[in-house]
Amino acid sequence: MLIGLVGAPNKGKSTIFSAMTANEVQISDYAFTTIKPNLGVAYASRRCAEIDLGIKCKPRNSVCKNGFRQIPINIIDVAGLVPGAHLGKGMGNQFLNDLINAEVIIQVVDISGKTDMNGAGCEGSDPAVEIEMIRNEMAAWLGGIITSHISSLSNRSDGDVALLEILSGLKSDINQIRRAASANSLPLSGISWKPDKARAFAKSLLKENKPLIIAANKMDRGREEDLEGLRKKLDGVEVIPCSGAIELALVKAANKGIIDYVSGMNSFNIVKEANSEQKSALSYMQGYIKDHGGTGIQALLDKAVFGTLDNLVVYPVEDESHYADHSGNILPDAILMRKGSTAYDLAAKIHTDIAKGMKYAIDAKTKMRLQKEYVLKDGDVIKIVTH
């Protein structure tokens, strides 16, 4: 799984990336801090099955903190996109290519309105305008790819199949292509679309293929009325208020052993002596996360993984009596599966040979036998039985 982190320059993307991944990346208060994409691993959080089972897990592919399983996901933070990026302006459109494999996109905006679309300081900038700008830049980039293939597309009666081949890197399916064409009343036989039609098609396709979540960053300097105003303008788009700066400061303080803090919490404990300046800063941050239910950074990740992408967590085991693998590790792996997935799908995700040899599954919680077609539920602990 790959989540793309995008935005206009100087909106706090690199700060959020560092807070999500605990990696050190270049952070400065000026445009184009990121000139190469940053890649890292962040963690989606879900209540661990150990709570319901009354046991202590021993994870292998993830981490468990305070009863919450932290499941690794990949994050890519690309350079700030400015108007005309698809034409090579700013840092160039090569960074749009970095997003092609992302399954969901988090766009970071400055909810305080103190930076414009080019990253320069200002007052009263409207984040809704830059959200539309990013959408248009991505659509223009993809529309340009389609337009460059018009000559070959015009000779195909199966334009949907041809587009699927051209856009294979986008990981779209043929039904998404058909729906995007239908939404714009565009024919899929002998495609000879003008550039504006190709761009309109691309915009519709990306809306479905690259779902968008808005990170209303710098909420510690923003106003509630601006947040609600943005939500009204973006009806139907998820907008999550957050403060990357506060999250990063808390993560760093926790790494130094000054506080006991886990991302997503709305409070923390000071466990190491702090000086007066640190206490003042920690008091301010404590108040912020109490009032806002956290910094919003973990909420962004969890919304992307479990909301927008509709995943659930399943725990495969080999010993259903002890909820363990062959080495005795309890609830060793937490596997992300799309809602609607079956026990057979789980077997296939573990290994193709296991799927080929699968006879049935066992619900380790109830010890009941399950058919291959059993639809998985969030928190299931499953044993796959093979020949």
The secondary structure of 115-149 as a DSSP string is: B-TTS-B-SS--HHHHHHHHHHHHHHHHHHHHHTT
The confidence score (pLDDT) of residue 37 equals 67
C-alpha gyration radius of the chain: 23
Q: Which of 100, 191, 177 is nearest to 138 (CA)?
A: 100
Low-confidence residues of the chain, pLDDT below 50?
Answer: 24-35, 90-92
> What tens digit of pLDDT does each residue of 157-198 get?
999 999 999 998 888 899 999 999 999 999 999 999 999 999
The confidence score (pLDDT) of residue 159 equals 96
Question: Mean pLDDT, the chain, as a whole number?
Answer: 90
> What tens digit of pLDDT does each residue of 17-71 get?
999 997 544 444 444 444 466 889 999 999 999 999 999 999 999 999 889 999 9
Give the amino acid at 156: R
CATH architecture designation of domain 311-386:
Roll (3.10)
Residue 95 to residue 117: CA distance in whole angstroms: 17
The confidence score (pLDDT) of residue 32 equals 44
The confidence score (pLDDT) of residue 28 equals 44
Alpha helices in the chain (DSSP H): 13-21, 49-53, 94-97, 127-147, 150-153, 159-166, 174-183, 195-209, 224-233, 244-255, 276-292, 297-302, 343-350, 352-356
The confidence score (pLDDT) of residue 85 equals 57
The confidence score (pLDDT) of residue 314 equals 98
Asked if residue 187 lies in contact with residue 205, where contact means CB atoms within 8 angstroms, the answer is no
**Distances, alpha carbon 144 to alpha carbons 71, 96, 126, 198, 211, in Å:** 37, 12, 28, 8, 20
Q: Which of 300, 304, 285, 284 is nearest to 241 (CA)?
A: 300
The confidence score (pLDDT) of residue 34 equals 47
